[in-house]
Chains A and B, each alone.
Chain A
Amino acid sequence: MSKTYYLTTPLLEEQTRQLKAGDIVYLSGVIYSARDAAHKRLVDLIAEGKELPFDLEGSVIYFVGPTPPKPGDPIGSAGPTTSYRMDSYSPTLLKYGSKGMIGKGKRNQEVKDACIEYGGIYFGATGGAGALLGKQIKKAEIIAYPELGPEAVRRLEVENFPVTVINDTFGADLYQMGRALYEVKS
C-alpha cells in the first residue's frame, strides 16, 4: 500500500499529486531551510510584490534551525522543528508555487486545504534524529537573513533525504490514520 519514491527537486505538480499519506520519499537536489522568522519575511516580500531570495516554483522548504557545523562539515545536526508555527505562512508560499514542506507535527486545516488546492505535500522527517538527517545534507549555504543565525535561509543540497508523506493532495492525514489504527477507546 505504502509506496517508496526517489524524487529530485524542484517537484512537479504531476509528481506531488501522485503521492499518498504514508508513502516514503527519498528527496535529492536543492531544498531551502526556513523557520518562523524567515517565513514572516518571505510572506512580507510576497505582499510587497518584491523578489524572493529563491525561486518558489516547485521548491521544498525544510523547517529547520541547524546546529553550527564542526570544522570541515557543511552543516551540524539538522532535524525538523515543529511545523504548526509555520501554519499561518505556508498557504501563501504554496499559492505562489512551493510544492513541499518538511517538518514534524500537526498542520491546521488551512494548510491541508492549500495542499489540496495547489498540489502541495507536507512531509514528516524524524524529529530528534538531527545527527542522522544532517549527514544527508551535502552542502549548505546561507542565502538570506544571516542575522537570524540558526533561523537564516539556507540553500541545502541533499541526497536521499528520508521523509514520509503526512498530508497529501487528497486531504489525507497520516497522523490521524495511524492513530485511528492503535487508539483504544475506553
Chain B
Amino acid sequence: MREIAYDTVVKAVRDIIVHCGTDLPQDAYDALKQAMEEEKSLVSKEVLRQILENADIAKDEKRPLCQDTGLAVFFVKVGDEVKINGGLLKDAINQGTQQGYIDAYLRASTCEPFSRANLKDTVGYNLPAIIHFDIVAGDTIDIEYAAKGGGSENVSRATVLAPAAGMDGILQFVKQVISDAGPNPCPPITVGIGIGGTFEKAAISSKHALFRTLGSVNEDPQMAQFEERILNELNKLGIGAMGMGGTKTVLGVHIESNPCHIASLPVSVNVQCHSSRHAHITI
C-alpha cells in the first residue's frame, strides 16, 4: 500500500487550478493559431487574433483567460494500492479547488439553483467541485482537470435515438445541436460526443471526450473517420469565430463510444468553448 498525504493532494489540485486559470494549454493555443491562419472570413480572423492576444496577455500578466473561470470538473482514477493519510480524497480535491480559485483570483461561480445565491460563503468558494471517480489497479492517483464554463455547457444536449438512426442519425443530431447553439458557446469550439452506454453514461463520456488533446487521433479507426466526417459537416454551418460567420467553427470532434442496450442508442453532445483549460497530472 502506498501512502499519500492529504496535503499533497490539496497542493497538487490547487496548483493545476492556478495554472489553468491563466495559461491556455499548448494544444488549444496551436489549434486556434492554425484556425486563424486558415480562416477565410476576415472578421473571424480578427476575432481569433484577439483570442490569441488574450491568451498571451493572460499568461504574461497572470490574469484569468476568461471571467468565467468555470466549475472545476475532475476525472480521478484512484489506484487500489493507494491510501490517503489525513483525510478523504474527495475532501482534499475540494479543498485544493477552493484554495486554487481563491489564490488565483478566479471567480466564485457556484450558486443555489433556485434563489441563485452565491455559495462562496456557505458551501465554499466555487464548491462543490464536480468529481467523477474510478478505481483502477496501481499505486498512483491520476487526475484530469478542466475549468468548464457556463456558456458552452448551456448549449450541450443529450438524447436517446432509435438504433435504426445509426451514424447518420447521430450526425444529424450533433449538427442540429451545434447549429442551434450558433454564436452562444464561444466558437471555435471542441465537440465532445458520448455514444452508447446508458443516458448518463453517454453524458459523462461526452464530457470526458473533451479532455482529449486537440489534434490527437481517435484510437478506433472507425471513430477517427466518423470524427473527421462530423468535423467537416459542422464547419459547413458557417458560424465562425464568436458567430461572426466563417469557415472555422469547430477545432475538433472527440468521440467516446460504449456498448449499449439492444433497444437504445444514447447520444450526448458536450460543447467546449475556445478557452479549453484542462490539465492532467499523476500523483
Contact = CB atoms under 8 A, between A and B. Distances in A.
Interface of A: 22, 36-37, 64-70, 76-79, 81-82, 84, 104-106, 124, 126-135, 148-151, 162, 164, 174-175, 177-184, 186
Contact of B151 (A82, A130, A177, A179): A82
Given A128-B186, A179-B237, A134 B51 contact: no
A186 B108 CA distance: 44
A16 B113 CA distance: 37
Given A106-B183, A180-B238, A76 B118 contact: no
B118 A128 contact: no
Interface in B195-238: 233, 236-238
Given A127-B186, A149-B108, A179 B242 contact: no
Contacts of B47: 126
Contact of B67 (A65, A105, A124, A179): A65
B50 interface: yes
Contacts, number: 168
B245 A132 contact: no
Contact of B65 (A105, A131, A186): A131
A131 B182 contact: no
B133 interface: no
A107 to B, nearest CB: 10
Nearest to A71: B105
A179 B120 CA distance: 40
Nearest to B58: A131
A77 B274 CA distance: 16
A176 to B, nearest CB: 9
Given A67-B69, A131-B63, A150 B238 contact: no
A179 B61 contact: no
Nearest to A83: B184
Contacts of B183: 104-106, 124, 175
Given A84-B184, A105-B183, A178 B63 contact: no
B5 to A, nearest CB: 30
A72 to B, nearest CB: 12
A129 B105 contact: no
A68 B118 CA distance: 14
Given A175-B243, A177-B245, A104 B41 contact: no
Contacts of A184: 236, 238
A131 B54 contact: yes
Most buried by B among A68, A77, A78, A135: A77
**3 nearest A-B pairs in the assembled complex, by CB-CB distance:** A178-B245, A183-B238, A182-B238
Given A77-B65, A78-B67, A175-B182, A128 B106 contact: no
Contact of A67 (B106, B116, B186): B106
B154 interface: yes
B273 interface: yes
Given A70-B105, A128-B275, A182 B151 contact: no
Contacts of A128: 51, 54, 65-66, 186, 273-275
Contacts of A133: 54
Given A181-B238, A183-B238, A126 B50 contact: yes
Given A77-B58, A132-B50, 19 more contacts: A36-B116, A68-B107, A76-B107, A77-B65, A77-B67, A106-B184, A126-B54, A128-B54, A130-B54, A130-B64, A132-B53, A149-B118, A150-B107, A164-B244, A174-B245, A175-B244, A179-B237, A181-B245, A182-B40
